[in-house]
Amino acid sequence: MKRSGNSVGLLAAMILVGALLSTEAKALTEKATFGAGCFWGLEAAFRQVKGVTDTAVGYMGGTLKNPTYEDVTTHRTGHMEVCQVTYDPAQISYEKLVAVFFQIHNPTSFNPDGHDLASQYRSVIFFHTPEQETIAMAAKDQLQVSGKFERPIAAAIVPATEFWRAEEYHQRYAEKHNLPSCSITP
């Protein structure tokens, strides 16, 4: 009997250690949220970046709680289609994620999604920390003075609000349908 009790105790300790390690691994990742047109293409682009551990597409910045795609496309909720990126800062910096964001779309366009010109496609960086805000502002300023674009950089940099995960059929849409991406580049 005593041996059985020790086995149960050992098993419980192993489960506890596993849970702690899992929690610790999750704590080592950070979130970044970007909007740059169709969230399918944005997600497809960020999924290719080394150090990105997960992505989810959804809606942010609006007034309606738990919006659906149909709600957002009415242009009455104020939400934007976004990609929330989970990344390992030991593998990729937030600065590099912001650089990817500015490279994969036209940041001078208010609604940058090529054929899909609508308010939910605005160019935006939602920052989660003061450090992210500082980095995003510096990158935007640097891009503006670089002369790469003739027009001003229109990408908004605003505090993150509640992220509403989009419907499951939108998640990894390009991957599920073997599409290269949406037309998010200029």
Q: Which of 30, 36, 37, 38 is catalytic?
A: 38
Strands (E), the chain: 30-36, 52-60, 80-87, 123-127, 156-159, 164-165
C-alpha neighbours within 13 Å on the C-beta side of residue 32:
30
Tokens 């496309």 belong to residue: 73
The SS3 assignment for 13 reads helix
The SS3 assignment for 170 reads helix
Helix 94-103 × helix 39-47 angle, to 10°: 130
Residue 83 designated active-site: no
Report the side by side order of strands in the sheet with 30-36: 156-159, 123-127, 30-36, 80-87, 52-60, 164-165
Residues 6+ apart with CB under 8 A from 160: 31, 33, 60, 126, 127, 128
Catalytic site positions: 38
